Amino acid sequence: ISAYQTEGAWNIDGKGMSIWDAFAHKKGKILYNDTGDASCEGYYKFKDDINLMKDMKLNHYRFSISWPRLLPGEHINEKGIKYYDDLINMLLDNKITPIVTLYHWDLPQVLQDKYGGWQNVSMVNYFNDFANLCFERFGNRVKYWITFNNPWSIAVEGYETGEHAPGMRLRGTGAYRAAHHIIKAHAKVWHTYDMQWRSKQKGLVGISLTADWGEPVDISNQRDIEAAERYIQFYMGWFAAPVFHGDYPQVMKDYVGTKSGQQGLGASRLPVFSPQEKSYIKGTCDFLGLGHFTTRYVTQKNYPSGVGDSYFADRDLAELVDPQWPDPGSEWLYSVPWGFRRLLNFVKTQYGNPMIYVTENGVSEKMLCTDLCDNWRMQYYKDYINEMLKAMKDGVNVKGYTAWSLLDNFEWDEGYSERFGLFYVDFRNKNKPRYPKASVQYYKRIISSNGFPNQREVESWKRKAVETCSSSNQLLAADPLIGHMEMVTEIVVPTVCTLCILLSAIFLMFLLRGRL
């Protein structure tokens, strides 16, 4: 889970502004103008949440450290350090391994204002300083570090389409420049750990890349096959190829270079790594974090030059979905389990079978009414985890799996309208209570069995899980009443008391006047 999506406490205890604080506060940027100001109140409720994890028998938990909570400016914020110290210590006390992400999108706003954020190469050194502080303060207890989570989104949605913070629309150049600096920053942090900390802390440093699978529309059509390959290279390969092989995928260099030439530019819009940078970046990955949610069919589609230079036009392809694919209500997330196994095998063959930790996998729902009996989520986890287990039998080196996500949280530009959590969070209630969905019991049984026993037993898991969610539904249905009662005690009671005191005072005045 990421800091901005769950912690809340956005301006508490010395925390500085992040680009997401600034972005979400601009009207019209987030659905319903939601913000992460309070979110799940994880800053205050982390002990309760760790107890939920303990009950589920989770053995690891991935979270991100908020850069502006630790370094709001020039000075270290010790209150921020204490919060993460307490979180890490309590996880370890409960035998839950912390996996820490250093950057899950919340750049300090001051660095955006001063330098233009990831458009500026100076971020490489600033990020390295922040990472070094984390290694120094937490590295004696944290053994798994992820530099960046889903850099594709940071680059494309932050600097190309502007859908995400900082909301820049630098079409055709912004995403490539941001990605270039992110890759350099990742490599520098890996080397910092390798040189200064690895021998005493014995930890691992990786990067987490999110990728959908791309399947050719026509598997007998060479152009579709190449388009599907291009889809994945422009998605995951953009970051994985430099980290594993030292340079961008050849197909990216070819396509962006050709398009840039057709647009009359003297150089490619895709930046170039020097020979020294290539050797410095290559091999900076102890493990690969992999986020995966869905699949697309891909076909060749030519974007003639002059249509407008953009990352999307550079790829010369179109994405399609099969209307038969299950769709729980999110416009982008379809359940296509077989794509997961293919993606895992692609990673194995392309990058020399690296150690993989699945860092994100899950399914959301968009519902007007609340139903905690999330059959589709149980089915999704069963199907996707099964495909991952098949990939492991294929020889893919998967070491761990993390479901996304423990709690419903702030889902970026979708606000609170999209819910991925195993636990339902009632955002209308100021206490942000958590209610288990059926998938909590189901996932707990997957953990205890470390997979799936026979079909009959798995069906009984689902039945028992649905029985538990019915009682949770009743609790949640009563929640608006509880909220109403809170309102009565917090607003109505003090108001009535104040009125009583005023009336008593007026009555006393009349009595005293009568006596005089």
Task: Please give the positions annotated as active site.
Answer: 360
Strand partners, 289: 208, 357
β 213-216/204-210 pair status: unpaired
Task: Report which of 328, 147, 140 is spatially closest to residue 239, judged by C-alpha positions.
Answer: 147
What is the number of other CB atoms lying within 10 angstroms of the CB of residue 277?
Answer: 17
Name residue 338's amino acid: W
The pair of three-digit structure tokens given for residue 219, joined into one six-digit string: 């598997």
Return the SS3 of 359.
Answer: strand
Could you give the angle at the alpha carbon of 225 between the alpha carbons of 219 and 231, nearest 5°? Answer: 130
What is the number of other CB atoms lying within 10 angstroms of the CB of residue 37?
Answer: 13
DSSP symbols for 297-313: EEEE----TTS---HHH
Helical spans, DSSP H, in 96-142: 109-115, 123-138
Asked if 282 and 274 count as a contact pair (C-beta separation under 8 A), the reply is no
Size of the chain, expressed as the number of residues it contains: 516
Q: How far is CA 511 from CA 12, 304, 325, 505, in A?
A: 50, 91, 79, 10
Strand partners, 435: 424
Task: Report which of 426, 463, 420, 419 is spatially closest to residue 441, judged by C-alpha positions.
Answer: 463
Q: How far is CA 99 from CA 71, 204, 292, 376, 486, in A?
A: 20, 10, 18, 28, 37
Question: What whole-number distance in Å separates Cα of residue 172 and Cα of residue 156?
Answer: 10
Question: What whole-number distance in Å separates Cα of residue 175 and Cα of residue 171?
Answer: 8
Question: What whole-number distance in Å separates Cα of residue 374 and Cα of residue 206?
Answer: 33
Return the SS3 of 368.
Answer: coil
Task: Report which of 110, 115, 105 is spatially closest to residue 157, judged by C-alpha positions.
Answer: 105
- What distance, in Å, lies between the first and last C-alpha atoms of the chain? 70
